[in-house]
Amino acid sequence: MENQFLSMQHINKRYAGVQALHDIDFSIREGEIHCLAGTNGSGKSTLVKIISGVEQPDEGSLITIDGNACHHLSRMDALRYGIQVIYQDLSLFPNLSVKENISMGETMAAKSHFISWKGNHEIALNAMKKIGVTLPLDTTVADLTMADQQLVAISRALTRDVRLLILDEPTTALTKKEVNALLAVIKDLKKKGIATLFISHKLNELIEVADRVTILRDGEKTGCFPSSELDDKKIEFHMTGANTSYTPYHVSLASSGQPLLQCSQLQKEHNFADIDLTVYPGEIVGITGLLGSGRTELALALFGLNPPTSGTCYLNGKKLNLNSVGDVVDAGVAYVPENRLVEGLILEQSIAKNIVMTILDDHLTKFGLLDEKRLQESVAALVDELGIKIPSAESAVRTLSGGNQQRVVLAKWIATAPKLFILDNPTVGIDVAAKSSIHTIIKELARDGMGIMIISDEIPEVLYNCNRVLVMNRGRIIGEFESSRTTEDEMQSFIDSHAV
Amino acid sequence: MKQLLKRHETYVLAIIIIFSLIITSINPNFLTLENMFDLLKSNAFIGILAIGVLFVLISGGIDISFAATATIAEYLTVIVCLKIGGSMIFAFLMAIFIGILLGAINGYLIDRFSIPPIITTIATMNLYYGLLIVFSKGKWLYTLPPYFRSFADIRVLTLYTKDGLPYGISIITVIWFALMVLASLLLIYTRLGRSIYAIGGDVISAQRVGIRVRFMRIFVYAFMGAMAAIAGIVQALLVQTVAPNSIVGKELNVIAAVVLGGASLAGGVGTVFGMFLGVMLLAIVQNGMTLMKIPAVWYDVFVGLVIIISVGFSSWKAKKSKVTSLIDVQEQSPQEKLSVQGGIS
Amino acid sequence: MKLPRIKKNETTVLLVIMVLVALIMIVMNSGMFLTYNNLKGMAFQLPELGILTLGMMVVMITGGINLSIIATANMAGISAALILKAMEGSPTMGILTAMLVCLLVSGSIGLFNGFLVAYVGITPILATLGTMTLFNGVAIVVTEGYVISGFSPAVLFIGNGSVWGIPFPLLIFIGCAIAMSVLLRKTRTGFSMYMIGSNSMATKFSGIHNNAVLMRTYLVSGLCSGVAALVMISRFNSAKSGYGNSYLLVTILAAVLGGVSSDGGFGRVSGVVVSLVTLQLLSSGFNLLRVSSFLTTAIWGFVMITVMIINNIIDTKVKRV
């Protein structure tokens, strides 16, 4: 058996009566690439906090690290044993240079109170050499792409003697190519004997490089598997305890049906080109493609937030003014943004206020003032219709779970009775049960005659919820699939064949 | 060259040069050593306050109370010096002690109770200034200790005009420049200085690399207090009287000068050199108006326009670049952006 | 679920403090405090600061700040004074024109602020710092630093008269407060102001026209300055640049004390009114005790810090539970 770097037994953790972790055994070998998977709230971030010494486990735990046994690790212990965490937000200083960001940890740990810029330069160069990248050392980090920022964060972690590198959701903001570059770096670290722990709820990209995968569900370990034994279906089963069965969406389009949305030759430099698009009422059209394919740009264009430089769009035969969100919304277009927390919701404000934001115009008294009674009634009706579980409509949205938050966003738009509903990654970061109920809502809306576009990078999501799927790449639509006549594998290989 | 064009300081310097050329073409007295030395002396007061403001802005905070701090330090110190004799060194040390104390209170309140800095310092400004006026009864001090006069007259370099009048570099200018050099070294070459930039850039990241945020906040506001106190003494040296109400009300002008010099109210950005240029820009506008015989009533109009136009220009630029980056950078890597472009053309 | 409760606590804390202050003042001034004259004096003093604070509040709700409210008020007041002087021959027309010009000037400056913030994208604090300096300057240039004084009795009535024993400025303030309350709670624009203050990105993605709302916000703020200007020139019987400069930071203090969040998104007119009354009680009470008005200023600062500390402690307690 290979050398264990870290082994943990009987890890328990309770927060205010909630059992976050229940009797977990966990181990990482030297130079291993290990994945820790689980849905939101499965306890994976708590486990990482314990490994990195930010939190202490409850009594009775046993941790063996590098052959030394102890009950818990302190932050300093973890650093001394060479455990480095790269958080999802990367924890960089956007206002400082690459050089300084990389050397910041060393600066803070050094005995001297003075800065040696030459020394910092050396530290940064050495760290970058370890992962074989060259970034402009004097550039401000805010000017880098997400992928380069991630490399800065990894370089910073490598300035110390690292034995275990923990990466929290590293791939969410990266394009396929950038993910591949990242994985190459990780494989290289493995050769140097450095172990890597990935925390992710999206495993398909990592499964090829991982040695083992540990899956958590509701604070319990469902198992630790060699990655060769796993596939998407099995992972999902272990993560959720259930096999999600998709009911494919079929729609019979009346041949005489007027198209709902008809776009021709939409074009915008750096964004998208030659977009011809038709959506019929009652259709669910999926758009997929890798990050950076222009899907979100196109969606924003249809919503009036990213006006195309040329091309036209008609909704129900009327021309859409794509220069104004207000006009587009009035015409009957709704958009659920991917970044729910920033663009979709006002977290501090109440559920009721979030929902009525779009329908104030329809709820005025004859004096032009807001009709609070009718607004309350509308909110109550929508909350009921969508099954949003809330203590009170006056609670702040912040207090809701991810799934309920997304339902608030849906309610906000369903309230406007849109004709065309565009949803950008509507189930990202939502646990599986809530996911399928959101899909059900969407399908019901389509059956009532709404035209729907779902943008997603998960092929199953579009394939099993849409009647038609468009594939985008580099700003163009490169393929169209009838979902009843294709398979996941066929689509995946089509996309891969176009990825560079 | 490209690096230079990116830097905010380059633009401020260009504006200063243009202004200087205009003023000189109308009144050649502007570009004389005598006028320059005088500018550097009379603006030392604002300039020293600006050093403190720069630190606070870099750390991501703001301070409205420093004028009150400066006045209290100045007033108390002069009163004590009149009572017990003392010396110039003693005066500076005592003032700095008071300044640090009042500043540290700000820093503590801001960090411990997470009250927004602007609110905290407006409140402490009212508190400090109100108490000062109550206890001083608003009395001006016209007689200062004799060493205040003799110290203020020290010149490290003396030249003579054609008429035989002496002029030169005042000790006050030297104090200002020494403080700027010190501040610059502190910001660039010490861990303390880099930590200020770090907390201004991202407080949580700063905590994660082990920066003691509370200590840093208290330090920054205490430093502001110390600078305010030194500025207070310098003000006494410059005008040779102490008026409890002469400084309060200038807070926003100083902040404006520092922002003109490239510091950001969002924190994390700013240099001593830029701050110096910002202070000089406003000084030259004022000085130039006198020299060009433009009535002094126009001063605020010009300053207001300078602020709106220069800040407006950089905000407009930032806004334009943000609109495109919102969509492009998040979603596309540079290579792919290029290829889309290539595909279309 | 937690947030609204904290907000409620804030007003409760303030109400308790207001009652305490009132009781202390009544006891300390043994009988002099609750006299008609004293109450009337308070009612004449409160409106100036009160109307200006409403103008500050509305901007703070959108997450901004307006440093130019006093400069705007002076600019508008001076314009009105110049008209009044020029039209001394026809008093009625003079007053009406002056009022109109006063609101026009203040409204335009407000719109200019709105333009700088919404369309140019300058941080509100810097944009209004710039316009504050600019319009202070213009006011000095127009008046050459002199005072314009001596108005007709009709003008003086605005700031000094009473209707049915109620001071006229107080009526104006009550009118403004009600109008502001209706705007904030009962109109689309007011609703959007709160939302923009909390998250302007989400309002943009909900089809709310942020820039239009911001323009209206600063317009309303400017108009408040205009109304305050009418009260001010009438009470001082003169107009000059630099009047009321000390009010500027006090308005921020009064707004925050009244529960307006300096980050935007929250704040009610009722809270601000309670806060203004508290400040006025302190000020009048100490005045009766012949304490320096500057001690009052100091105590305002002290009360402010105390309230913020109490709120912070409650806040952390609630979070822990």
pLDDT in tens, B91-142: 999 999 999 999 999 999 999 998 889 889 989 998 998 899 888 887 888 8
A422 within a domain of the structure (yes/no):
yes
Give me the helix-helix angle, C293-320 and C269-288, nearest 10°.
Answer: 140
Give C136's contacts (C-beta < 8 A, 6+ positions apart): B300, B304, C71, C74, C241, C242
Find all residues with CB under 8 Å of C313, minimum gap 6, and list them.
B113
Query: In the predicted model, is pLDDT for residue B337 greater than 70?
Result: no
Q: Is C188's CB within 8 Å of A360's CB? A: yes
Q: What is the Cα–Cα distance from A9 to A12, expressed in whole angstroms?
A: 9
Q: Based on the fold, state whether residues A281 and A398 are members of the same structural domain.
A: yes
- CATH code, domain carrying A199: 3.40.50.300
Does residue A322 sit in the same domain as residue A232?
Answer: no
Residue A366's alpha-carbon distances to A362, A375, C178, in angstroms, are 11, 15, 19
Separation of CA B140 from chain center: 26
Model confidence pTM above 0.80 = yes
- One digit per residue, pLDDT tens: chain C, 321 residues? 334 444 555 677 778 888 888 888 888 777 777 777 788 888 888 999 999 999 999 999 999 999 999 999 999 999 999 988 888 778 788 888 999 999 999 999 999 999 999 999 888 988 999 999 999 889 988 888 788 888 878 778 887 888 888 888 999 999 999 999 999 999 999 999 999 999 988 998 988 889 999 999 999 999 999 999 999 988 888 888 778 778 888 899 899 888 888 888 899 999 999 999 988 888 888 888 887 778 888 888 888 888 888 888 887 776 655
Distance of CA A296 to the CA centre of its chain: 14
Q: Whole-angstrom Cα distance, residue C255 to residue C253?
A: 5
Check if B207 contacts A (Cβ < 8 Å).
Answer: no
**Is there a single domain that holds both residue A179 and residue A310?**
no
ipTM of the complex: 0.83
And the tokens for B177?
């420049």
Cα–Cα separations (whole angstroms), residue A17 to A20, A21, B281: 9, 12, 62
Domain final residue pick, A184, A209, A240 = A240
Structure-token pair, residue B219:
């330090």
Higher pLDDT, A41 or B337: A41
CB A5 within 8 A of CB A193: no
List chain B residues with CB under 8 Å of C259.
none
Q: How confident is the model at residue B332 (pLDDT cuts 50, 70, 90)?
A: very low
Token pair in block for residue A311: 């091309």
Predicted confidence (pLDDT) at residue A486 exceeds the cutoff of 70 = yes
d(CA C303, CA B130): 13
Contacts of B332 in chain A (CB under 8 A): 175, 270, 292, 294
Alpha-carbon distances, residue C150 vs A120, A316, C179, C244 (angstroms): 70, 67, 31, 19
Same domain, A363 and A415: yes
Q: A36 φ, ψ to 5°? A: -115, 115
- Report how far apart, in Å, the C-alpha atoms of A339 and of each of A440, B113, B330, C202 are: 21, 31, 11, 10
Bridge-based pairing of strands C238-239 and C148-149 is antiparallel
Cα–Cα distance between A92 and A387 in angstroms, integer? 40
Find which of A270-274, B17-21, C88-92, C290-294 is predicted with most confidence, using mean pLDDT.
B17-21
Nearest chain B residue to C298 by CA: give it. Answer: B127
| Cross-chain residue pair A357–C195, CB shorter than 8 Å | yes
Q: Which is it for strands A195-200 and A164-168: parallel, antiparallel or unpaired?
A: parallel
B258, B282, B300: best to mutate for the C interface, most C CBs within 10 A: B300
Q: What is the reported pLDDT for B187?
A: 95
Q: What are the structural domains of chain C?
A: 12-320 (1.10.3470)
Average pLDDT estimate for B162-183: 89
SS (H, E, C) A402-465: HHHHHHHHHHHHHCCCCCEEEEECCCCCCCHHHHHHHHHHHHHHHHCCCEEEEECCCHHHHHHH
Joined tokens for residue A360:
């104030």
Instruction: Tell me which chains share at least 3 CB pairs under 8 Å with chain C.
Output: A, B
Q: Tell whether A167 and A267 lie within a shared domain.
A: no
Question: In 3D, which of A473, A34, A29, A69 has the Cα closest to residue A292?
Answer: A473
What pLDDT, on a 0 to 100 scale, did the predictor assign at position B87?
87
Asked if the C-beta of A178 comes within 8 angstroms of chain B's C-beta atoms, the answer is yes
Provide the residue range defining the domain that includes A445.
261-498
Instruction: Give which of A405, A415, A425, A445 is closest to A336, Cα–Cα.
Output: A425
- Total number of domains in chain A: 2
* pLDDT on residue C10: 64
| Whether A387 and A493 share a structural domain | yes
Q: What's the gap in Å between the CA of A238 and the closest CA on chain B?
A: 31
A410 assigned to some structural domain:
yes
Q: Enumerate the residues of chain B whose CB falls inside 8 A of the CB of residue C261.
A: none
pLDDT in tens, B28-71: 888 888 888 888 988 999 999 999 999 999 999 999 999 999 99
Note whether B270 and A96 are within 8 A (CB): no
Q: Which residues of B204-234 are buried (b: 16+ CB within 10 A; e: fewer)?
A: ebbebbebebeebbbbbbbbbbbbbbbbbbb
Look at residue C151 in the predicted model and tell me its pLDDT. Answer: 80
Inter-chain CB proximity B114 and C116 less than 8 Å: no
Q: Which residues contact B215 (CB under 8 A, 6 or more apart)?
A: none
Residue located via tokens 């402490």:
B124
Question: Which tens digit of pLDDT belongs to each residue from A181-221?
Answer: 788 888 888 888 889 998 876 666 777 788 888 988 888 88
In terms of domains, do A80 and A134 share one? yes
Q: How far is B295 from chain C (nearest CA, A)?
A: 9
Q: Is residue A42 domain-shared with residue A177, that is, in the same domain?
A: yes
Give the gap in angstroms from C-alpha C172 to the nearest C-alpha of chain B.
28
Same domain, A231 and A297: no
For residue B86, give both structure tokens.
């003392």
Residue A61 lies in a domain: yes
Question: Could you report the per-residue pLDDT of A51-108, keeping only the tens digit for each?
Answer: 888 888 888 888 888 888 888 888 778 888 888 888 878 889 999 999 999 998 888 8
Chain A residues whose CB is inside 8 A of the C267 CB are none
Helix (H) or strand (E) holding A336: strand A333-336
Work out whether the CA dihedral A398, A401, A404, A405 comes out positive or negative: positive
Residue A119 lies in a domain: yes
> pLDDT: is A429 or B324 the higher one?
A429
Tell me how close the Cα of C175 comes to any Cα of chain B, in angstroms. Answer: 28
Rounded to 5 degrees, what angle do the CA atoms A459, A461, A466 make?
100
Cross-chain Cβ contact C199/A368 below 8 Å? no
Q: Which of A6-15, A484-493, C99-108 is predicted most confidently?
A: C99-108
Question: How many Å apart are CA B147 and CA B68, to the nearest integer?
Answer: 24
B chain contacts of residue C312, beta-carbon cutoff 8 Å: 113-115
DSSP B276-327: HHHHHHHHHHHHHHHHTT--GGGHHHHHHHHHHHHHHHHHHHHHHHHHHHHH
What is the mean predicted confidence (pLDDT) over B236-243?
A: 89
The stretch B211-221 carries a mean pLDDT of: 94
Model confidence at B338: pLDDT above 60: no
CB atoms near residue A108 (< 10 Å): 16
* Residue listed under structure tokens 């099954």: A387
pLDDT value of residue A390: 81
Instruction: Report the mean per-residue pLDDT for chain B.
Output: 85
Bridge-based pairing of strands A333-336 and B166-170 is unpaired
Domain membership of residue A451 (yes or no) is: yes
| Cβ-based contacts of B208 with chain A (< 8 Å) | 87, 91
The span from the first CA to the last CA of chain C, in angstroms, equals 12
Per-residue DSSP letters for B202-246? -HHHHHHTT--HHHHHHHHHHHHHHHHHHHHHHHHHHHSSB-TTS
User: B108 — phi, psi (to 5°)?
Assistant: -65, -50
DSSP-based three-state secondary structure for A34 = strand
pLDDT-above-70 percentage for chain B: 91
* Residue pair B235/B70 in contact by the 8 Å Cβ criterion: yes
A-chain residues near C4 (CB < 8 A): 350, 394-396
What is the chain A residue with the closest CA to C182? A369
If asked whether residues A157 and A211 sit together in one domain, one would say yes
Q: Nearest 5 degrees, angle CA C247-CA B252-CA B289? A: 115
Residues of B in contact with C298 (CB under 8 A): 126-131, 134
DSSP secondary structure letters along C167-200: EHHHHHHHHHHHHHHHHHHHSHHHHHHHHHHH-H
Q: How confident is the model at residue B334 (pLDDT cuts 50, 70, 90)?
A: very low
Residue among A85, A76, A48, A217 at smallest CA distance from A162: A85
Query: Residue A399 domain-assigned?
Result: yes
At C205, which helix (H) or strand (E)? Answer: none
Q: What does each C-alpha distance from A261 to A82, A296, A312, C307 come to in angstroms?
A: 56, 17, 11, 56
Sheet holding A310-315, edge to edge: A272-279, A261-268, A310-315, A318-319
Residue B324 has pLDDT above 50, yes or no: no
A367 with A222, same domain: the answer is no
Cα diameter, chain B: 82
Whether residue A254 lies inside any domain: the answer is no
Per residue in A288-297, pLDDT tens?
A: 887 678 888 8
Pair (A231, A352) in one structural domain: no
Q: Which of A336-340, B206-210, C310-314, C317-321 has the lowest mean pLDDT?
A: C317-321
In the Cβ-directed half-sphere of A161, how many Cα atoms lie within 13 Å?
Answer: 2
Say what the pLDDT of residue C319 is: 62
Distance CA A466, CA A287 (A): 9
Quickly state the pLDDT bin for B188 (edges 50, 70, 90). very high
Say which of C144, C294, C298 has its CB closest to residue B297.
C144
User: Is B249 in the C-facing interface, judged by CB distances under 8 Å?
Assistant: yes
**What is the phi-psi region of residue A12: left when phi exceeds 0, alpha when psi lies from -120 to 50, beta otherwise?**
beta
Q: Does B188 touch chain A (CB under 8 A)?
A: yes
CA dihedral A148, A154, A158, A164 (to 10 degrees): -160
Q: Using 50, 70 and 90 to split pLDDT, how confident is the model at A447?
A: confident
C-alpha distance from C153 to closest chain A C-alpha (Å): 37
Nearest in space to A248 (alpha carbons), one of A490, A441, A439, A458: A439
